[in-house]
């Protein structure tokens, strides 16, 4: 089997795991000062996981807002502490993001992400896709 093809197959098998997040599609429309809740549910085959929320405005990179561990306390980035909150519900497997006292600067795309922290091999997160001439096409982190 060709080296580059083997790496793609390994990556595909790793991505085929049952761990995933599901966010409702579409825009949420609200007025300044309102409170909104953005939904996120998740599926995971393991334990010891974290759920994260990120905010991306314009063409900027996503910015970390907060993390919710399966066991423990929510960790919120200082900039968002007063108005952004979340609670991980392991029964309904949801981690909604609540934003209070909306500001115009809150207009953005919000991402929910899942990170298993106990099960699996973290080395599988670092796979390179190689072309036929053994140059890196894309480095997956």
Q: Where are the domains of the chain?
A: 33-114
> Which of 93, 106, 76 has the alpha carbon at shortest distance from 39?
93
Q: What is the pLDDT of residues 120-141, one digit of tens each?
A: 444 433 334 444 454 444 444 4
Whether domain 33-114 has CATH 2.60.40.420: the reply is no
Structure tokens belonging to residue 112: 């929910």
Q: Is 40 exposed, middle or buried (0-12, 13-18, 19+ CB in 10 A)?
A: buried
Phi, psi of 79 (to 5 degrees): -55, -25
Whole-angstrom Cα distance, residue 8 to residue 12?
Answer: 6
Q: What is the pLDDT of residues 94-105, one digit of tens each?
A: 999 999 999 999
Which of 50-64, 86-100, 118-132 is predicted with the least confidence, judged by mean pLDDT? 118-132
Q: What is the pLDDT of residues 9-50, one digit of tens each?
A: 344 344 445 688 999 988 999 999 999 999 999 998 878 889
61 with 78: CB under 8 angstroms?
A: no
Start-to-end CA distance of the chain, whole Å, equals: 24
Q: How confident is the model at residue 117 (pLDDT cuts 50, 70, 90)?
A: low
What's the sign of the alpha-carbon dihedral 85, 54, 124, 122? negative
Q: Is 19 exposed, middle or buried (0-12, 13-18, 19+ CB in 10 A)?
A: middle
User: CA 80, 83, 89 angle in degrees (round to 5)?
Assistant: 90
Say which DSSP state 92 is in.
T
- pLDDT at position 45, please? 81
42 with 114: CB under 8 angstroms?
A: yes
- pLDDT at position 84, please? 97
In terms of pTM, does the model score above 0.75? no
């Amino acid at each position: 089997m060709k080296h580059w093809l083997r790496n793609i197959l390994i990556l595909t098998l790793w991505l085929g795991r049952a761990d995933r997040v599901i966010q409702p599609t579409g825009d949420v429309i609200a007025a300044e000062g309102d409170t909104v809740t953005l939904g996120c549910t998740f599926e995971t085959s393991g334990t010891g996981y974290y759920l994260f929320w990120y905010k991306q405005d314009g063409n900027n990179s996503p910015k970390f807002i907060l993390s919710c561990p399966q066991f423990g306390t929510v960790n919120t980035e200082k900039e968002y502490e007063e108005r952004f909150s979340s609670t991980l519900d392991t029964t309904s497997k949801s981690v909604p993001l609540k934003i209070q006292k909306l500001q115009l600067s809150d207009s953005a795309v919000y991402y929910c992400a899942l990170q298993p922290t106990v099960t699996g091999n973290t080395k599988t997160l670092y796979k390179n896709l190689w072309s036929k001439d053994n140059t890196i096409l894309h480095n997956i982190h």
